[in-house]
Structure 1
Amino acid sequence: MPDYGHDLMFSVNLMPAADQPDAVVALVQRAERDGLDLVTFQDHPYQPAFLDTWTLLSYVAAATSGIRIAGNVHPLPLRPPAMLAQAAASLDILSGGRFELALGTGGYQDAIASMGAPRLTPGQAVDALEEAIAIIRAAWDVDAPGPITHEGRHHRVVGAPRGPRPAHDIAVWLGAYKPRMLRVTGRLADGWLPSLPHLRDPAELAAGNAVIDEAAAEAGRDPRAVRRLLNLAEPLPPERLAEIALTYGVSVFTLIVRDPRELRRWAAETAPATRELVAAAREGKTAPTPTPPEARASRAAAPLTAVPLAAVPTPDDGVRLSRTRVWDESTRPTGPAPDPGRRYTPAEQAAGQHLVDVHDHLRAELAQLRDLVAQVAAGTLDAATARSHISEMTMRQNNWTLGAYCESYCRLVTMHHTAEDAMLFPRLRRAEPALTPVIDRLEEEHQEIHKLLDRVDRALVAFVTDPAALDGLRAAVDLLTDSLLSHLSYEERELVEPLARHGM
């Protein structure tokens, strides 16, 4: 779909960790100081490791003065729409018109039901969302005559007063993927908010745009009234973001961030570079193109900016937790030795460092996953009292804590590997054919790691139903640890320098 012409916004999505509240607020304030437009928080009330998102939004609104705030996204079944409308309007008033409302039907029905909400089928959840949007907009429309009355299949409001009036026209963004939700977005919403971990490739944005645009036109709306947003699980280079903006109309990019350094790079480097590319393309009516290799080589030869490669691959420490071996590490091919006299520009340095940064994030996530398993094993998540009914309920909650995290992590690894297989590796093959054996091996290892992720999922399911299966879960996580850490080190050893040299 062509560019919709919206100004670009850059945002971060922060984990509302209950054990690090000061760090969460500090990241929000850092985002504001660094000039980002929006900060968002995932909203999982059934996750005891998280702060309540509405409480957190109110707190950070008071701790900031200019940055916009939003949930990402609020599961509608857990909040009555009339109350949600009043809470949203109140927060918008208190923040000076800085709140936007992002809604979803709720992706974890078991967890939602555990909090007392009705269990809905996917179709019922969409029906309930449509009803809720009507109620919310009616509550904000204080100039309409009479109170609010809505007699629906899922929501009932009888004679409720309207108001308060929000400080600005709060945008309603929907997290949507299936055709029916996309049509609801086109008819009723102000924005579409998907995530790349759920969309397998940015090209799927085109199909979603087509459904939204058609539904908007049928409802008598201008498709440009629906802003297109995108959640990213890992940074993309400015050239890729500009391409997504101009080709698929995305104007709000939100990056999941936990590290202040990553936030700073996103705000100080990626955001302005992307804005510059998009502005230049809009002015010239052409899409941005990658810098030609000869231009990169010319910049690399500049004595004032080119220096030795600073990105250092993480070595494999050789520690193995499992006796099982997924592959023979001695058969791994190697690429050509780098030129020891080669120098690299700042942009090339960043390209080489990016892979290490992404892998460091995966390593940190893996360490946290192992820590969660250790806590369950130690009984600090109440596993020791699983035999009584109350303890059984607690144990299910603890299993949910572990399961939700594992699902998120496994999806992150899979998305990262998919991006490499689909976009990065083909470019490397073309740029440097001598790397083909290495890339072939990395792709093979990706497939094996995905099997290990499936094994962790199966072990987790077994543990949820039988706490005695904890040993199997630990064994699966140990094998994943051995294989993933070995793979990440191998990939960095072979690709950090080529990525820098080719400016990818």
Structure 2
Amino acid sequence: MTAGTPELGVFVTPEAATYPDVVRQVQAAERGGLELVGIQDHPYQRRFLDTFTLIADLLARTERVRVFPDVANLPLRPPPVLAKTAASLDVMSGGRFELGLGAGGFWDAIAAMGGPRRTPGESVEALEEAIAILRASWSGERSVRFAGRHYAVDGWHPGPPPAHPIGIWIGAYGPRMLRLTGRLGDGWLPSLPYAPPERIPEMQRRIDDAAASAGRDPGAIRRILNVGGEITGGPATELLQGPPDHWIEALTGFVLELGFDGLAFWPTGGGDDLGQIERFAAEVAPGVREAVARGG
């Protein structure tokens, strides 16, 4: 396959205790020429800052990177409020917010915060309803009405409109979620190892088939993979643990062979996350871009 220049970025953990470090990590990503910053969203995690509050702060401190929840916890964020928040962030940042969105998980923790406890089927239904409300709220319609099993709005006046068409990038793994991504999503946002390389071609086909069946262009759906690992100075020991040349080869394969348009680096070595991000931006990202441009 041929591929355009991939978008590269970082996947950041919103640890409250290391908030200044989180800010430095994102600033290093922008300074290093990366394009994307994803932030985990687990509102029930007591060690984490609120993701959307943090995103507002990070957008105010940066000028170029696009920032998104990776992925937003829908059961704890009602769609009308989520739509308002997303549009507001997009307006304030000049069009640099995207919406990573998930159906939910960790149901005991969600229920403990007063959220719903849904079956897998119900969570997919609720996500489809939420996407309809989000789309309507950003469409410029003066009044939005929607009556679903999980969500309903009746004569709601949305606004402000976002500064650009906000992408809805869906964190999906199971067949129903992958089909929903193909039918309704602007992007697919999985993470290793939940989407292992050997399963990705099958998962991509499910998205493509669902998109084609819905009359959509499968190529218009962005594919962005969160990749966790450690850049080391020694020999490669795992798929994503090794020196920069090993990372360049592996990530180039994710683009050219597995069809991803973007990659977000998640430092998982448990040490110097800032140093890892600086190395990724300086020693890995340029090599990936060059290798993709050459075709491998």
Q: Would you call these one fold, judging by a TM-score over 0.5? A: yes
Partner of 1:155: 151
Q: 1:76 aligns with which of 53, 74, 77?
A: 74
Q: 1:262 aligns with which of 246, 271, 276?
A: 276
Deviation at 1:92, TM superposition (A): 0.4
Q: What is the distance in 2 between the residues matched to 1:255 and 1:264?
A: 11
Partner of 2:252: 242
Partner of 2:98: 100
Partner of 1:175: 171
1:369-398 Cα deviation digits (max 9, x unpaired): xxxxxxxxxxxxxxxxxxxxxxxxxxxxxx
Partner of 1:228: 223
1:379-421 Cα deviation digits (max 9, x unpaired): xxxxxxxxxxxxxxxxxxxxxxxxxxxxxxxxxxxxxxxxxxx
Q: In proportion to residue count, which structure has more helix?
A: 1
Deviation at 1:161, TM superposition (A): 1.1
Q: 2:116 aligns with which of 100, 111, 118?
A: 118
Provide structure 1 residue ranges, at least 5 long, that are not aligned to the other structure.
Answer: 282-287, 289-504
Contact kept, 8 Å, 1:141 with 1:162, in 2: the verdict is no
Deviation at 1:203, TM superposition (A): 2.4
Q: What is the distance in 2 between the residues matched to 1:278 and 1:30?
A: 23
Question: How high is the TM-score relative to the length of structure 2?
Answer: 0.91
Q: What is the distance in 2 between the residues matched to 1:101 and 1:6?
A: 22
Deviation at 1:6, TM superposition (A): 4.2
Partner of 1:138: 136
Contact kept, 8 Å, 2:74 with 2:127, in 1: the verdict is yes
Q: Whose RCO is larger (CA < 8 A, sep 6+)?
A: 2
Contact kept, 8 Å, 1:176 with 1:192, in 2: the verdict is yes
1:264-314 Cα deviation digits (max 9, x unpaired): 111111111011111011xxxxxx2xxxxxxxxxxxxxxxxxxxxxxxxxx
Provide structure 2 residue ranges, at least 5 long, that are not aligned to the other structure.
Answer: 231-239, 241-246
Contact kept, 8 Å, 2:4 with 2:293, in 1: the verdict is no
1:55 aligns with 2:65: no
Q: 1:198 aligns with which of 194, 198, 201?
A: 194
1:235-254 Cα deviation digits (max 9, x unpaired): 54111211121111101111
Contact kept, 8 Å, 2:80 with 2:134, in 1: the verdict is yes
Contact kept, 8 Å, 1:70 with 1:101, in 2: the verdict is yes
Partner of 1:213: 208
- In structure 2, relative to structure 1, the CA distance for the partners of 1:121 and 1:6 (3 Å cut) is farther
Q: Indicate the SS of the match to 2:33.
A: coil
Q: Which runs of 4+ in 1 moved over 4 A?
A: none
Deviation at 1:162, TM superposition (A): 3.0
Q: In proportion to residue count, which structure has more strand?
A: 2
Aligned residues between the structures: 277
Paired AA for residue 280 in structure 1: R
Contact kept, 8 Å, 1:11 with 1:39, in 2: the verdict is yes
Query: Which has the larger Rg?
Result: 1
Partner of 2:288: 274
Q: 1:127 aligns with which of 110, 125, 128?
A: 125
Partner of 1:165: 161
1:41 aligns with 2:51: no
Paired AA for residue 276 in structure 1: E
Q: What is the distance in 2 between the residues matched to 1:183 and 1:249?
A: 17
Deviation at 1:14, TM superposition (A): 1.2
Contact kept, 8 Å, 1:10 with 1:252, in 2: the verdict is yes
